[in-house]
Amino acid sequence: MPEYKAPLRDIRFVIDEVLDSGAVYQTLPGYEEATPDLMAAIIEEGAKFAEGVLSPLNQSGDEEGCTWSEDGVKTPAGFPEAYKQFVENGWPSLSADPEFGGQGMPNMLGIVINEMVGTANWSWLMYPGLSHGCIKTLEAHGSAEQKAQYLPKLVAGEWTGTMCLTESQCGSDLGLLRTKAEPQADGSYAITGTKIFISAGEHDMAENIVHIVLARLPDAPEGTKGISLFVVPKFNVNEDGSLGARNAVHCASIEKKMGIKASATCVMNFDGATGYLIGEPNRGLNLMFTFMNTARIGTAIQGLAHAELSYQGALAYARERLAMRSLSGPKNPDGPADPIIVHPDVRRMLLTQKAIAEGSRAMLYYLAMLGDVVDRGDEERAKQADDLMALLTPIAKAFVTEAGFEAANHGVQIFGGHGFIREWGMEQIVRDARIAMLYEGTTGIQALDLLGRKVLGSGGKLLTAFTDQVGEFIAAHDDEPVVEFMDPLGRYKDEWLTLSLAVGEKAMANADEAGAAAVDYLMYAGYVTLGYFWARMAVVAQAKLAAGEGDKDFYEAKLHTARFYFQRLLPRADAHRAALQSGADNLMAMPEALFAL
Ligand SMILES: Cc1cc2nc3c(=O)[nH]c(=O)nc-3n(C[C@H](O)[C@H](O)[C@H](O)COP(=O)(O)OP(=O)(O)OC[C@H]3O[C@@H](n4cnc5c(N)ncnc54)[C@H](O)[C@@H]3O)c2cc1C
């Protein structure tokens, strides 16, 4: 298993030099203390925890997995102790609201810590990871009483949270869900039904688990308009905050699965469990979006995490493993063969991993910073940031997880046959990465959201908000020696707009045209968006080199990687364009019966 080393230089590059986040946070009330120095110190501490405590448990956790018994779920050796340390060091409360015991740091800092923790051990991150969305949901929509009852313990990490949406008959289409909520005389609800695939639904790391549950009231309308949101604790909570009786919610079993084996994926039975309504009746799905948007950016981080970890392992191997000679003459003449990093094809794979990891880091930190502007910016700035987030969240979730999986797969390939052997740990990264394209809305569902709701549904307004920003950036840097990036970026930006118009027109005549175009459209958007972030990084690197500020190798590596991205990965957008322009007929014309022939 690659030993994780947090890429601190690159993290600082994005936060300080590309996003200039110190200056941004100075303008956001309550975040003035988030200076570059303070953030750097916190990130360094987080890196130590990820590298020293969690990374060593990644492979052993995968080997051991979780075990279920009538008494509950046991997580792998070392997991509860690591969680205890995490709580003692105050990590769960880092970016939570001080009103509930949080440290009030920006969400972006929380995302950086999650990246490091999750790269070291994604399965482990799933336990505290889901609490974050649970906290956000209660903060935004809970009653004063619910906030007082649950938030301080969740923020402190003494309790963890879950999201209970999926049932055996429905995941993407939550309109089909059946779990029932019957009103009780005391104002609570009796929740009855079975939820499946519930991450961290049961475990031995915290004393209580707070489930956020979607269910239907007796008189609720059919479909998504009849879903309400409830909070259901594993242990009921007394008025003084102490733990009361065990609630009627139990883990019936845990899934055996392809990856993230140390994360408990639970079947949860609610047998008339006591729950409390959050917000208005029948508004559950709308309220749940607070949770899901947070979770979607969290899941996008998984793509980055697995690209980074696989890259770290593959790079070390490619420098040591000897095989054949370089085509242009020996590079290691004293050895029996050259290290495989001399071979163009190995470099193609390594640079693909590097470009995906570093580009995604810039994209996702930017998104996290937008989230902070939405929370704390004045009305106009918050609205602008919210529009950009609405457009970029499905792109980040689906594109970065697809790209992250590709990067993880290259890691196996670079190891040759050894990549397929468990002991090296590279195949675990592929297995762990695979789920990210499924949960929190599959790639197909994100693509429909992007094209249908965000782009066409806003009449193109959300898209132009972003492409205008890209256009301003290009105009501001057009005469610099970075024109090699600006020219293609400008072309793709313009093409993205015309392409969207053309798809919209076709979809008006036949709605299947939107569905047929959606995933290629999303991948196209992903490559262009990543191109924008690579161009931003290239501009900074170029300026630093011109100013002779030192760290020359780092900035030159950035420019080389940007060039690789623009010349070898961005052109993939052309293939996606051609595919989506080909229309729906080649998918829909064949009668279903012919699929079996
Ligand atoms: C390890 C793991 C952890 C999970 N954790 C949680 C959790 O904590 N909480 C929770 O509630 N759920 C969780 N899930 C569930 C997960 O979110 C769902 O599995 C996922 O949303 C997909 O739903 P589904 O499995 O029902 O697939 P389906 O909805 O049946 O989809 C099957 C296929 O059809 C496609 N499809 C469906 N509808 C459309 C459409 N309209 N257009 C185009 N394509 C479509 C999908 O993209 C997919 O390819 C988890 C799942 C796993 C495996």
Mean pLDDT, all residues of the chain:
96
Q: What is the pLDDT of residues 192-224, one digit of tens each?
A: 999 999 999 999 999 999 999 999 999 999 999
Instruction: Tell how far the Cα of 111 is from the centroid of ligand 1, in angstroms.
Output: 24
pLDDT value at position 291? Answer: 64
Q: Which helix (H) or strand (E) holds 265?
A: strand 265-278
pLDDT value at position 132? Answer: 87
Residue nearest to atom 24 of ligand 1 (CA): 171
Q: Which of 296, 439, 521 has most ligand 1 atoms within 8 Å of its beta carbon, as the pocket-test mutant?
A: 439
**Model pTM score:** 0.98
Using pLDDT thresholds of 50, 70 and 90, give the confidence band for residue 337. Answer: very high
Instruction: Tell how far the Cα of 437 is from the centroid of ligand 1, in angstroms.
Output: 9
Instruction: Tell how far the Cα of 166 is from the centroid of ligand 1, in angstroms.
Output: 8
Q: Is the pLDDT of residue 146 over 90?
A: yes
Q: What is the pLDDT of residues 251-275, one digit of tens each?
A: 999 999 999 999 999 999 999 999 9
Crossing angle of helices 36-49 and 107-120, rounded to 10°: 20
Q: Which of 134, 160, 164, 166 has most ligand 1 atoms within 8 Å of its beta carbon, as the pocket-test mutant?
A: 166
**Least confident window among 128-132, 416-420, 514-518:** 128-132
Compute how many other C-beta atoms are within 10 angstroms of the C-beta atom of residue 578: 11
Q: How far is CA 130 from CA 82, 211, 228, 480, in A?
A: 17, 10, 20, 44
Using pLDDT thresholds of 50, 70 and 90, give the confidence band for residue 240. Answer: confident
Task: Give which of 585, 531, 592 is closest to 562, Cα–Cα.
Answer: 531
pLDDT average, residue stretch 219-238: 96
CB contact at 8 A, 327 and 318: no
The C-alpha angle with vertex 61 and arms to 427 and 65, in degrees rounded to 5, equals: 95
**Least confident window among 363-367, 468-472, 476-480, 487-491:** 476-480
**Least confident window among 44-58, 184-198, 466-480:** 466-480
List, in sequence order, every residue forming a beta bridge with 354; answer none if it has no partner. Answer: none
pLDDT value at position 254? Answer: 98
Q: How far is CA 212 from CA 131, 165, 219, 239, 288, in A?
A: 10, 8, 21, 20, 9
pLDDT value at position 187? Answer: 97
pLDDT value at position 290? Answer: 64
Catalytic choice (115, 358, 440, 513): 440
Compute how many other C-beta atoms are within 10 angstroms of the C-beta atom of residue 294: 24
Compute how many other C-beta atoms are within 10 angstroms of the C-beta atom of residue 275: 28
Task: Give which of 194, 192, 191 is closest to 168, Cα–Cα.
Answer: 194
Residue 283 three-state SS: coil
Using pLDDT thresholds of 50, 70 and 90, give the confidence band for residue 289. Answer: confident
Percent above pLDDT 70 for the chain? 99
Q: Which of 299, 442, 519, 520 has most ligand 1 atoms within 8 Å of its beta carbon, as the pocket-test mutant?
A: 442
Instruction: Tell how far the Cα of 199 is from the centroid of ligand 1, in angstroms.
Output: 13
Residue 440: active-site member: yes
